[in-house]
Structure 1
Amino acid sequence: MEKNIINTNNAPAALGPYSQAVKVGNVLYTSGQLAINPVTGEFINDDIKKATAQSLDNVKAILEEAGSSLDKVVKTLVFLKDMDDFAQMNEIYSKYFTTNPPARSCIQAGKLPKDALVEIEVIAIA
């Protein structure tokens, strides 16, 4: 199977030597998305709800570039700076996955890139 690299200007550019997403067959793997607005470059690091929404908007843009959507996500992995933010993150997350939500893991990370509040990655059907 061929490995296809997915990139879009509608999500932040990679901060290092990795791709926004990789598609193999009909499976799409995104890299973790921070709360960076791809248009303004603004990094949201003071409000978990806004940060979660921006991270998921970035995931959504990558999925759409690959011909997929949030409805086709089968697994998410959420990294939180502080597990005390779980309820607020979950409130926003639930607005993006309203029916038949994907499987999910959520962990408190020791430290995230740019000292982010949240980072979200997904696996989806492309």
Structure 2
Amino acid sequence: MPRQQIHTEHAPAAIGPYSQAVRAGNTVYCSGQIPLDPATGALVEGDIAVQARRAFDNLKAVCEAGGGGFGDVVRLGLYLTDLAQFAAVNAVMAEYFSAPYPARSTVEVPALPKGAVFEVDAVMVLD
């Protein structure tokens, strides 16, 4: 099955040897997005809600570049440096997704690239 690299200028460029997303068949695998401003590459300043919104906005841009949207997301991976922020992230996620919600895992991690406090990745299936 051929793979297609997905790229958009509306999300931060990869900061390592990986693609923003890769499409294989009707499935799009989106790399993790941290709260970087796509124009500057700098981490946005603010609390977990501000950072989560920026990361979700970045992910949305990648999904759209891949030919879909958040309604096509079947799985999310959330990574937080502090699980005490779980409720705040859930509130932000509810601004972007509606039922039926994607399957999801949430993991506390000791650190994220560039000092971010939140990262999100996704798998999208296109009809």
1:88-107 matches, cutoff 5 A:
88-107=88-107
| SS of structure 2 residue aligned to 1:58 | helix
CA distance in 2, matches of 1:87, 1:45: 20
Letter in 2 for 1:10: H
Provide the aligned C-alpha RMSD in A. 1.0
Q: Which runs of 5+ in 1 are unaligned?
A: none
CA distance in 2, matches of 1:54, 1:123: 18
Residue of structure 2 in register with 1:115 after alignment: 115
Residue of structure 2 in register with 1:70 after alignment: 70
Letter in 1 for 2:2: E
- Deviation at residue 114 of structure 1 after TM alignment: 1.1
| Correspondence 1:32 to 2:38 | no
Letter in 2 for 1:3: R
Instruction: Report the number of matched residues.
Output: 126
Residue of structure 1 in register with 2:82 after alignment: 82
What is the percentage of aligned positions where both structures have the same residue? Answer: 39
Write the deviation string for residues 57-105 of structure 1: whole angstroms up to 9, x where unpaired. 0110001011110000000000001101111111001111122110000
Does structure 1 retain, via aligned residues, the 8 Å contact 2:111–2:117? no
CA distance in 1, matches of 2:26, 2:45: 34
- Deviation at residue 125 of structure 1 after TM alignment: 1.1
Residue of structure 1 in register with 2:54 after alignment: 54
Calculate the TM-score normalised by the size of structure 1.
0.96
Which stretch has the larger CA shift, 41-50 or 25-34?
41-50
Residue of structure 1 in register with 2:44 after alignment: 44
- Deviation at residue 119 of structure 1 after TM alignment: 0.4
Structure 1 runs (4+) greater than 4 angstroms displaced? none
CA distance in 1, matches of 2:30, 2:45: 21
Residue of structure 1 in register with 2:5 after alignment: 5
Does structure 2 retain, via aligned residues, the 8 Å contact 1:45–1:117? no
CA distance in 1, matches of 2:114, 2:65: 25
Calculate the TM-score normalised by the size of structure 2.
0.95
Does structure 1 retain, via aligned residues, the 8 Å contact 2:49–2:88? yes
- Deviation at residue 40 of structure 1 after TM alignment: 3.7
